[in-house]
Amino acid sequence: MTSTSTNPRILTGDTPTSTGLHLGHYVGSLENRLALQDVYDCYFLIANVHAFTTLAEKPDDIRANTLGIVKDWLAVGLDPARSTFVLQSEIPAIAELTFLFAMLIPFNKVMRNPTLKTEIDSKGLGDTYPFGFPMYAVGQCADILAFRPQLVPVGEDQEAHIEMCRDVALKFNQLYCGVGNRVVADEHEKAGGVFPIPKGKVGRVGRLVGTDGKQKMSKSLGNAIFLYDDAKAVQKKINGIVTGRASMTDPIDPNHVLLQYCDVFIGAKDASRAQQIRDDYASGKEVKDGLIKAELGEAINALIAPMRERRAKYETAAGEAMVLDVIRDGIKRANKTAEETLTLAKKAMKLDFVTRVIG
Ligand code: ATP
Ligand code: MG
């Protein structure tokens, strides 16, 4: 499916802040992408420019991580024949729309964005983060709207960003396209707006907690199980989860990360087994953490083993060449749609002095 498709569109993506994707990405967003790939015209974006907001001094890492994410996408089953892979740094319309949209968002609203605040906290950015860091929230509006999608599959942490993106689209359509203040969001395009007002779609698990049991599983926080981790590494990370029980008959908090993981990864195949584990822990029966962790490790490995195998194919020189081809092909297709959007937006803003062709 390409930009000529008449299917409704999806835009979503990942930032190359680490060598690959983790289980949180899988249950928060990738599962949805896979399920919707045939029904929607999908654009999957690698936010490699935004990776510079926290990794500006590590361009080699960002490049390697970019390739790593595409390898994971292919390994999981995102299909570049049906979907368009978008490399942010090669889509000039995104940068241009970022600047134009920055005029439509009050500065204080960006700085109050709860997702940014949480990130500043959890990533320990203090007060020395670059100007570009809060700017990425505006940039993300451009990432999304450049493709005029109806739907954005994301994890819960992105909801504030989606809200900001909806605000920008509403304001743009009202200011420059003559859409009335009373027109409801779903009717904006019909009323002449350049942009649909996109909706977020949160996955089966909106916020998968990390192995530390505290913060969300995150590439940047050292609490992630990666899709490419080998079987031993997965088990080691699971074994490292602390239950803090003094005896094998002590209950554990029903919200404990071990039980959450059992629900998500054992329960996906066998809901009654996940429930039984919960009941056993609550009943005062003797339960050996080690056995539960082994069962959980096995369930996770069964899920990611086929991905790991497929990813290994892309680790060769020929595999890497294939990944670069996929990226280059995606850039061409993505620019076609994004340029179309920019032309419409500039026309609405009376900025249509010349016709530009990027190819
Ligand atoms: P970083 O730590 O660099 O911010 P990240 O692990 O948060 O990385 P992103 O690239 O920022 O990953 O997020 C990509 C997508 O995955 C987003 O839609 C985000 O909401 C979703 N996602 C990330 N982590 C989780 C999680 N733990 N649970 C559910 N969804 C998640
Ligand atoms: Mg993130």
Closest CA to 341 of 326, 320, 328, 356: 356
Helices 114-122, 159-176: inter-axial angle, 10-degree rounding: 140
Q: Is 231-312 a domain of CATH 1.10.240.10?
A: yes
Which atom of ligand 1 lies at the shortest distance from residue 157's CA?
20
216 Cα nearest atom in ligand 1: 27
Ligand nearest to the CA of 16: 1
List per-residue pLDDT tens for the chain, 359 residues long.
Answer: 544 567 899 999 999 999 899 999 999 999 999 999 989 999 999 999 999 999 999 999 999 999 999 999 999 999 999 999 999 999 999 999 999 999 999 999 999 999 999 999 988 899 889 999 999 999 999 999 999 999 999 989 899 999 999 999 999 999 999 999 999 999 999 999 999 999 999 999 999 999 999 999 998 788 999 999 999 999 999 999 999 899 999 999 999 999 999 999 999 999 999 999 999 999 989 999 999 999 999 999 999 999 999 999 999 999 999 999 999 999 999 999 999 999 999 999 999 999 888 87
Nearest to 185 by CA among 202, 175, 201, 173: 173
Q: Report residues whose beta carbon is within 6 angstroms of any ligand 1 atom.
A: 14-15, 17, 24-25, 28-29, 154-155, 157-158, 205, 207-208, 216-220
What confidence score (pLDDT) does residue 7 get? 86
Residue nearest to atom 5 of ligand 1 (CA): 218
Looking at the chain, the domain(s) classified CATH 1.10.240.10 span 231-312
Query: What is the pTM (predicted TM-score) of this model?
Result: 0.93
Crossing angle of helices 231-239 and 289-313, in 10° steps, is 150
Rg (CA), the chain: 22
CA 261 – CA 297 distance, rounded (Å): 10
CB 274 within 8 A of CB 299: no
- Atom 18, ligand 1: residue with shortest CA distance: 154
Name the 3-class secondary structure at 11.
strand
Looking at domain 9-207+316-348, its CATH class is: alpha beta
Distance 186 CA to ligand 2 centre (A): 28
Query: Which ligand 1 atom is nearest residue 154's CA?
Result: 18
Pairing of strands 41-46, 9-14: parallel
Both ends of the chain: CA-CA distance in Å?
19
Ligand with the closest atom to the CA of 226: 1
Single out the residue of 328, 314, 290, 294 nearest to residue 227, CA to CA.
314
- Quote the ligand 2 centre to 138 CA distance (angstroms): 15
Tell me the sheet residues that pair with 45.
13, 86
Largest CA distance in the chain: 76
62-67 — which CB contacts under 8 Å span 24+ positions? Answer: 62/16, 64/19, 65/16, 65/17, 65/18, 65/19, 65/20, 66/16, 66/327, 67/320, 67/323, 67/324
Cβ contacts of 320 within 8 Å, gap of 6 or more: 67, 314
- Tell me where in the chain the CATH 3.40.50.620 domain(s) lie: 9-207+316-348
